Amino acid sequence: MLRVVVMVSGGGTNLQAILDAIDSGKITNASVEAVISNNSGAYALERARNHHIPAVCVSPKSYPDRAAFNQALLETVKQYRPDLIVLAGFLVTIPPEMIKEYRNRIINIHPSLIPSFCGVGYYGLKVHEAALKRGVKITGATVHYVDEGVDSGPILLQKAVEVKEGDTPETLQRRVMEEAEWQILPEAINRIANK
Ligand code: GAR
């Protein structure tokens, strides 16, 4: 059984897609051992509690500096002995010590076709705003392994999504989630769980 820890900062629709895929048998041989957030108000924590999964907040506000926060984050993750860490809308830079400890065992979902619209400053709605501004006709989502760079690790899965006439960042974000993110993130976990 692959022990999965999911890290989240916001609404947690990708977390929900993972939990639903486990419940429906689309993901096998994996269990979510904990959901960890930097944000105590993240609705994702509520989704975890509803599923009777430990929901833990490690907030930077509770620590004197970044180093102390990074250490607390790593210690919290370690408690759950993950085989795989899934960043599902986790908007905090992963500490280098964590990347070292869990090399090739951390994956991230990004809401564009990497290498487009990724890297520093590209997260959440900003990604879709940039895609619309550039006028691309196709966008999508990417699941990739996490390394020391920003959105620079090896790509595991990608799925393309059409940009439609009249799209706003919000409508495009929703379509990318529905048609790509909520499919390829569970699929990536299932593939890793079943080699
Ligand atoms: C998702 O669209 C995810 O791809 C994005 O944040 C959103 C979280 O939504 N992640 C990034 O932009 C990472 N660079 P959710 O909390 O509803 O899953």
For residue range 104-119, what is the model confidence (pLDDT) as tens digits?
999 999 999 999 999 9
Residue 144 a catalytic site member: no
Rounded mean pLDDT, 129-139: 98
How many angstroms separate the alpha carbon of residue 18 from the centre of ligand 1?
A: 13
Q: Which two tokens stand for residue 108?
A: 């991230």
Pick left, alpha or beta for residue 4 (phi over 0 → left; psi -120 to 50 → alpha; otherwise beta): beta
Q: Name the binding residues.
A: 12-14, 66, 108
pLDDT at 59: 98
- Tokens 């799925």, residue? 159
User: Which among 51, 110, 128, 144 is annotated as catalytic?
Assistant: 110
Rounded mean pLDDT, 123-139: 98
Q: Name the binding residues for (6R)-10-formyltetrahydrofolate.
A: 66, 108
Nearest protein CA to atom 17 of ligand 1, as residue: 13
pTM of the shown model:
0.98
Residues in the chain: 195
Model confidence pLDDT, tens digit, residues 22-80: 999 999 999 999 999 999 999 999 999 999 999 999 999 999 999 999 999 999 999 99
All residues at 6 or more sequence positions from 123 whose CB lies less than 8 Å from its CB, including other chains: 91
What mean pLDDT, rounded, does the chain reach?
Answer: 98
